[in-house]
Amino acid sequence: MNVKTKRVVISDFSGGIKGDYAPRLLPLNYATNAYNFNTINGSLTDGVGLTLLKFLSGKTLTSIEPILSTYYFKYFENGYKDKLLLYCLDKCVYCYEINSGELTKIENLVFENSPKGLSYRLQDKDIFIFSSQEGTFVFDGITATKVESVPIVEDICIHNERLFAVQTGEKTRLYFSDDFNPFNFNQSNLEGGFIDLVDERGGINKLVSNLGYLYLFRTHGISRLSSYYAQENFSVSHVFSCVGNIYPKSVTPCESGILFLAGDGIYMISGYSVKKVLSNLDDFFIGVDNSDSKGMFFKGCFYLKCKLKINGKQENALVVYRLKDDFGYIAKNLNVKDFCAIMGEDFSAPAIIAGNGKEVYTFCQSSSVCGVPLTKVWETPFTDLGVIGRDKILKKIEVYTNSQVKIIVLTEKSKKVFLLKPHNNYAVENVSVRGNEFKFIIESCTVNCEITKPMLTFSYV
């Protein structure tokens, strides 16, 4: 009997998870399921985790009420005194002073649901504008006042010194204020006005000012408004149409365009150009309601809180996408509720609400939550190891690793679990697993792991 022995090496994990190919067509350096591993350098290393955010004061923030939404308010008055605004379960808004660590309740701000919010500098004074079904309110850093002249709106955006708004019940009509007077909506050629957009792209759900234009994110497409100078020179062009919904809370401006999630995956728009990014994740978004998804951009990375459907199971996840490298991965079990980017002159960090919602976290580069390790998983497709239609015996598993790693071997006949402990960053396990096709699941529960070059030795006749 002529027994042959072969070795298969998984030399590079940078291909990541791939949902846009049939699993049996994938080589072993791609995953059918993977999370909490960052593979940008080809190894299995830690993805992002969470740690409590320490502000300039050295303090962390703990709220009595669970926090539902966060807003960053860049505020200058005899120096930068930036604020983190918090909408909480008691329907009130609180102001956290980033410099001093003081938390106070803002009087006169009570909303039934999370309001829309934006920061604006009006007449050399920083203000924060809240809009909701209760009306539009201006917070000047001390007091909040209702602005009666602004209609009840679904979304607002400052662009070229005008306030643009989508009014409740009229989502195909775009209202705009007088220039340099964002609360004057009187309709005339010299003040405010409106533009009707009645076509197959549907209502306007999100407004974003980016790269000199106002982008109108609609139910089934994107339009672009040029609004320089007098309103008679305003013009609208249509940039993008899609069959699936565009999820408005996912829409996120970045340094080179705008990222957003639609029903069939993540897109990026820059000028008139719209392209898919992370198309390897497309299949995981299809058939999933991501109306609660939300995006954030911070220092070159796009973070998307969303739902994914992997292996038939729908789960909450965080997609991390590095624009410069056109690379992304999935993080799970962080339980992110909301986030915003603090982009101050003296202090910058992602502010993240997670868990029970009463504390503010930020990202860390170890896959853990306040030091408690998250399980990291890499799952290969089923493979015949390059030998078709013959039974094989897996004889040995080797791997370079700085920590203990669990390797689960699945065949059509069995499931075996092996714990490999390294010596001088190398681990080996002699095994005996028979099968025609094999799937390998690599798991790590160690912070700051690095796993490279698993080697699989097998024999066959």
Characterize the bridge pairing of strands 376-379 and 83-88: unpaired
pLDDT at residue 2, as a whole number: 85
Mean of pLDDT values over 160-171: 91
Residues 6+ apart with CB under 8 A from 127: 119, 120, 121, 138, 139, 140, 141
**pLDDT at position 370:** 96
Asked whether the predicted pLDDT for residue 229 surpasses 80, the reply is no
Structure pTM? 0.95
Question: How many Å apart are CA 346 and CA 327, to the nearest integer?
Answer: 29
Phi and psi (nearest 5°) for 216? -110, 105
Transcribe 8-46 into DSSP letters: EE----TT-B--SS-GGGS-TTSBSEEESEE-TTSSEEE
pLDDT of residue 168: 85
When pLDDT is averaged across residues 204-216 and rounded to a whole number, the result is 94
Banded pLDDT at 310 (limits 50, 70, 90): confident
- Tens of pLDDT, residues 175-200: 999 988 999 999 998 899 999 998 88
Stretch among 110-119, 234-243, 400-409, 413-422 having the lowest mean pLDDT: 234-243
Ordered structural domains, the chain, with CATH: 4-46+376-460 (2.60.120), 49-369 (2.130.10.10)
88 Cβ contact partners less than 8 Å away, ≥ 6 residues apart: 63, 65, 66, 67, 68, 94
Burial class (CB in 10 A: 0-12, 13-18, 19+), 77: exposed
What is the reported pLDDT for 1?
67
CB within 8 Å of 391: residues ≥ 6 apart:
434, 435, 436, 460, 461
pLDDT at 236: 92
**φ, ψ for residue 296 (rounded to 5)?**
-150, 140
Q: Rounded distance, CA 437 to CA 411, Å?
A: 6
Structure-token match 């309601």, residue found: 289
- Phi, psi (rounded to 5 degrees) for 280: -65, -15
Half-sphere exposure of 153 (CA within 13 A, CB side): 30
Cβ atoms of 40 and 365 within 8 Å: the answer is: no
Is 80 exceeded by the pLDDT of residue 29? yes
Q: Has residue 98 got a pLDDT over 90? A: yes
Closest CA to 403 of 441, 450, 371, 365: 450
CA distance 267 to 304: 12
Q: What are 279-308's pLDDT values in tens digits?
A: 999 999 999 999 999 999 999 999 999 999
pLDDT digits 0-9 by tens, 349-372: 999 999 999 999 999 999 999 999
CA distances from 79 to 99, 128, 193 (A): 11, 17, 37
- Give the mean pLDDT of 307-327: 94
What average pLDDT does the segment 253-257 reach?
92
pLDDT at 155: 94
3-class secondary-structure state, position 375: coil
What's the mean per-residue pLDDT of the chain? 94
The predicted-structure confidence for 111-154, as pLDDT tens digits, reads as follows 999 999 999 998 889 999 999 999 999 999 999 999 998 888 88
Please give the structure tokens belonging to residue 185.
């909506």
CB atoms within 10 A of CB 450: 16
